[in-house]
Amino acid sequence: MRQMNAMVFAAGLGTRLRPITNHIPKALVTVNKIPMLEYALKKLEHAGISKTVVNIHHHHEQIIDFLNNYSSTKMEILISDEKEKLLDTGGGLFHARKLFDPDTPILLYNVDILTTANLTPFIHFHQEFKPLVSMMVKKRATSRYLLFDNNMVLSGWENINTGEKITIRPALMTTPYGFQGIHIVSPEIFNFSKPDEAFSIIKLYLELGSKHIIKGYETKEDIWYDIGTPQRLEQTRNIITKLSSQELKNLF
């Protein structure tokens, strides 16, 4: 398998998780007594990732302390400093670009998700089709959907709560999918130079998707959780206690 780097988005304010995140970063919120950042790092290491960058901002000193005490024998872990300015997902990726190995794909991972999905087939998918971006998606209920054509090429985006819809390429029919917070970008993404400012990576994908191939990778049998609110966190903690030993193992 070709070498691959990764980035864990851990800098966010976790505003939807307040008051929990008033005194702790979202990355260190625990499920089954394990911090979310630990789930992410172990998941990436087990997938054969050689280097992972973790961005920091909110309660950054706690994340630094955690990483100083976290050991990995197979994966280098670096910090991307956003203490002075939070840059969102797109800005965070471009801000960290010098930390990645040259000409190496990067797997991006949201720190607030848990999944039993196997990352290895997803990595192979990206290496086989070589799109600009590969996005792990699932047919699930959400308010914002990514729209893909019959070849699983990104064709648009829709917010069903507001009625807003963006079409970026023509398609006879599209299928809506929920984004799972895991995606892979080819190193060519950095050819589209961006200033050091905050912006959403999804917005960038919608800008680039009309001229460049962004592929969806659907998972069906995996279990997926988003701990983005106190209610979802509590639901996730309750569900985790009911998982089989193999399902628990697959979270890493």
Q: Which long-range contacts (CB under 8 A, 24 or more apart) does 117-121 make?
A: 117/180, 117/182, 117/219, 117/222, 117/224, 118/222, 118/250, 119/43, 119/44, 119/46, 119/47, 119/182, 120/1, 120/47, 120/48
Q: Are 166 and 207 in contact (CB under 8 A)?
A: no
pLDDT confidence of residue 1: 45
The answer on pLDDT for 14 being more than 90 is no
Q: What is the mean pLDDT of the chain?
A: 93
CB atoms inside a 10 Å sphere around CB 218: 14
Tens of pLDDT, residues 72-100: 888 999 999 999 999 999 999 999 999 99
Tens of pLDDT, residues 153-206: 999 999 999 999 999 999 989 999 999 999 999 999 999 877 778 999 999 999
Query: What phi, psi does 16 have (nearest 5°)?
Result: -70, -15
User: Residue 158, SS3?
Assistant: strand
Tens of pLDDT, residues 147-163: 999 999 999 999 999 99
User: Residue 16, SS3?
Assistant: helix
Q: Are 99 and 80 in contact (CB under 8 A)?
A: yes
Interatomic CA distance for residues 165 and 144, integer angstroms: 10
| Helices first, then strands: H and E counts in the chain | 7, 14
Tens of pLDDT, residues 217-246: 999 989 899 998 999 999 999 999 889 899
Three-state SS string over 70-138 comes to: CCCCCCEEEEEECCCCCCHHHHHHHHCHHHCCCCCCEEEEECCEEECCCHHHHHHHHHHHCCCEEEEEE
The residues that bridge with 78 in the sheet, in sequence order, are: 53
pLDDT confidence of residue 72: 86
Q: Which residues 6+ apart lie within 8 Å of 227 measured at CB?
A: 17, 26, 29, 31, 36, 112, 113, 114, 233, 236
Give percent above pLDDT 90 in the chain: 87
Interatomic CA distance for residues 247 and 245, integer angstroms: 6
Interatomic CA distance for residues 176 and 28, integer angstroms: 32
Query: Which whole number is the average pLDDT over 5-24?
Result: 92
Query: Which whole number is the average pLDDT over 130-135?
Result: 97
Give percent above pLDDT 70 in the chain: 99
How much is the CA Rg of the chain, to the nearest whole Å?
Answer: 17
pLDDT confidence of residue 149: 96
